[in-house]
Structure 1
Amino acid sequence: MQLRYNVRLYPSPPQRQALARAFGCARTVYNDGLRARQQARAHGLPYVSDADLSKQVITAAKTTPERAWLGEVSAVVLQQALADLNTAFRNFFASVSGRRKGPKIAAPRFRSKRDSRQAIRFTKNACFSITAGGRLRLPKIGDVDVRWSRDLPSEPSSVTVVKDASGRYFASFVVQTSDEPLPETASEVGIDLGLAHFAVLSDGRKIDNPRFLRRAERRLKKAQQALSRKAKGSANRKKAVVKVARAHAKVADARRDFAHKLSTQIIRENQAVYVEDLCVKGLARTRLAKSVHDAGWGRFTAMLAYKAARYGRALVKIDRWFPSSKKCGACGVVAESMPLDVRTWTCACGAVHNRDVNAAINILAAGRAERLNAYGGSVRPAA
């Protein structure tokens, strides 16, 4: 399994200048390649192949006075920027033709130096390495200080250097990891995700919703108001922009940390995890959009998926149309309607249900049935 390990970088001022130069060169090559293909299409010419595009926007461009400064950065950075463009075009064509499942992918767009995220990628061809002192050695940039939070499980195949909106630098290593199955346990759990509580488990436990964005709204509002009062183009406005970005970064970091800790705990404690396959994108179009985004259900379920695969656990997603809240966990009768303001209800059989706990119990039962339905058996039984 391939995983990404992110660590914080602390480049020196000269190294920041070299990274900014590399960001700009990679962005220029990407935009030149996109422009060349758009112009070829506008003039009715054939699609420019990957090899011809590389010769045009990198090899030939370096010999011109307008693009001679492309030689100041590693050639691998430029090639990887062009590889990203080629991947974007292939994904777009596959989405348009229907070969790629899922939501439609838009055509590649031009990159801007004002984008909140700038990134360059180094592969093994670039000869990046980790020195004996724990620094990250990058070609034509130097040895960059790294804050190691954990050791890499194997030698990385590539590293992506990222600068976020708040001015922080990160190194994202791609490493190959082996599965680490945990000791088997008989415990299984169903999870009902919500807003009143982030998660309600089938054993009755309720995980409070931390509401990181709601708690930070006052601080964010002050930072945004200070930004609105700064003159456009001034140095103080640039400082205020960074201050707003740092406030949002703190919220995102806290949400990510919460999702990591909770998903790891659930995977370690249970052999099988059952969760509802929510349409987060659809819920984000409702009046609850801010609360839905603040909860971060999509990131949490994605973490459950890859951790279950790595540690030998089972993760089963239940159909989103399954009436988990309206179905009685005792007799199985489905209520005709169940408004959101109804948190406790009584079934005709006399059972009194907490809406969220009952939904988690139903998700657990449905997940077990789905998992055991011809699980490991033959399609046609023997005569």
Structure 2
Amino acid sequence: MLSLTYSYRIYPSLDQEAKLLDWLEQCRRVYNYALAERKDWIKSRKSPVNACGIRQEYIIPADTPYPDYYKQQNALTQAKEAIPELKAVHSQVLQDALKRLDKSFKFRQERGFGFPRFKKFGQYRSFVFPQFKSNPVSEFEIKLPKIGAMRINLHRPTPEGFEVKQVRVVFKSSGWYAQLILQATVSVPDVMPQGEPIGIDLGLEKFLAVSTGELVERPRFFVDLQSQLRWLQRKLRNKKKGSANYRKIQAKIRKLHEHIHNVRREFHFLTAHRLCAIAGMIFAEDLNLKMTSRGMLAKHCLDAAWGSFLEILKWVAWKCGVYFAKVDPNGTSQTCPQCEAHTGRKELSERVHHCDQCGYTTDRDVAAAQVVMQRGLVAVGQTVILPVEEGCLGTPMKQEKPTARKGSPRSTH
């Protein structure tokens, strides 16, 4: 079973937009109520039976079962009788809100942290139609249950042989979007390691260093627009909360954040396609992204979004038939790719790799990328390629990368 997600811009009418906004609000209320019900049940089991809190204690009978997804789903029927606003929302849309909460609890249980939080007004921005009897998309419009037909911009056709299984409606600062989840009963074989291998090393001085000696500059998407964001947030602070001007500044802030996200994502896709065009195998470091998001360089690491880039590179490599794998990142900058000697720990200001044993000299990040490539070749059982003795200090990769310009933000959709 192969699944794809295509995103398209939709244009609801004024009545449809009001209904979509009301659905988002009702889903938010159902989500928050179900979350409060689970939190109360958990809190009532924390205190010992012979003690209670100093101020107050929320007590639930001991024989009350845990409010899991199925019990809360069955309670929706009674809730619709007491709250008439819930009847206007598609039943499966409300059930998906409960399913989203249940996934959050299961994900928290797996990783051990990240308790789900309540959604404030305006923070719940999407809902899902989980199934359709027939294709809801025609050439110029999409038909959603209880919403009706609305215009859709099919800027690219859906692939042949795929059926629309689900539709997610997303509300962004730039407008409304419909994400079509397409499925097809086809089996795609795994990409086998073959072709020209390259290794990549991610960093802050340069966004990317390739084992061939090419370097990719790191655009400062968030940092370049941080002054404009700070100015908007200072204006928001001086407005009365909930007023019309307050909401206008909020919309500008959301639009700026979306602009930064779009430009960064476009840069990641362009870089991934360029790497896949020059290689048959790509090896990258298996970074501990949780640790890189802490410390004094956390803002710059999050701005580079290495984790998002690696996920995009993995997807683009699969689509282009390029083998992609991750290797152990320990000691890549302390190993000579020419003679495998341990060169010792380098300071961040030391940007050149020089081996005292073999005399190999090259850019520090390029040397690390070459070590990554060699480790990847060993993992797949192929012959290790040694770099040339006359190492270069790195050459910039020619590319047309988007930059975050100051001024009015634009959408890249």
TM-score w.r.t. structure 2 length?
0.80
**Counterparts of 1:333-352 in structure 2 under 5 Å?**
333-348=341-356, 349-352=358-361
Give the Cα–Cα distance (whole angstroms) in 2 for the partners of residues 31 and 261 of structure 1: 39
Query: Match of 1:30, SS?
Result: helix
Pairing 1:52–2:55 present:
no
Q: 1:327 aligns to what?
A: 335
If asked which structure has higher relative contact order (CA below 8 Å, sep 6+), I would say: 2
Residue 50 of structure 2 corresponds to residue 32 of structure 1: no
Matched residues in 1 for 2:308 and 2:103: separation? Answer: 24
Matched residue type, 1:46: P
Partner of 1:364: 373
Q: 1:303 aligns with which of 312, 316, 331?
A: 312
Helix, strand or coil: the match of 2:163?
coil
Between Structure 1 and Structure 2, how many residues are aligned? 359
Q: Which ranges of structure 1 fall in alignment gaps of 5 or more residues?
A: 375-383
Deviation per residue, 1:10-66 (Å, 9 max, x gap): 22221110101111222222233333444555312112354432222x2111222xx
Question: Aligned partners of 1:301 and 1:329: how far apart in 2?
Answer: 23
Give the residue type in structure 1 aligned to 2:158.
L
The aligned runs of 1:1-383 (5 Å cut-off) are 1-40=2-41, 42=44, 43=60, 44=62, 45-56=64-75, 58-64=76-82, 67-92=83-108, 95=109, 100=110, 103-115=111-123, 117-125=124-132, 129-131=136-138, 133-153=139-159, 154-164=162-172, 166=173, 168-176=175-183, 179=188, 186-321=195-330, 323-348=331-356, 349-372=358-381
Answer whether contact 1:180 1:312 (CA < 8 A) is retained: no
Shift of residue 184 of structure 1? Answer: 9.1
- Which residue does 1:378 correspond to in 2? none
Would the alpha carbon gap of residues 245 and 127 (structure 1) be closer, same or farther in structure 2, given more than 3 Å must change?
same
SS at match of 1:120: strand
**Uncovered stretches (5+) of structure 2, i.e. residues with no partner:** 45-59, 384-413
What CA distance in whole angstroms lies between the structure 2 residues aligned with 1:184 and 1:40?
Answer: 51
The structure with the greater share of residues assigned to helix is: 1
Per-residue CA shift, 1:282-331, capped at 9, x if unaligned?
Answer: 1110211111111111011011223333443221211121x221211222
Report what 2:56 is aligned to. Answer: none
Q: CA RMSD in A?
A: 2.5
The SS at the match of 1:342 is coil
Give the drift of 1:247: 1.1
Partners in 2 of 1:76 and 1:126 — Cα distance? Answer: 14
The amino acid that maps onto 1:356 is: D
Q: Could you report, residue by residue, the CA deviation over 1:324-356 in whole angstroms, capped at 9, with x for unpaired residues?
A: 212112221111221110011422122222111
- Say whether the 8 Å CA contact 1:4–1:173 is kept in structure 2: yes
Structure-2 residue corresponding to 1:380: none
Secondary structure of 1:124 counterpart = coil
Q: Tell me, in whole angstroms, the C-alpha distance in 1 between the residues paired with 2:39 and 2:194.
A: 56
Contact 1:18 1:140 in 2 (8 A): no
Asked if 1 retains the 8 angstrom alpha-carbon contact of 2:209 and 2:366, the reply is yes
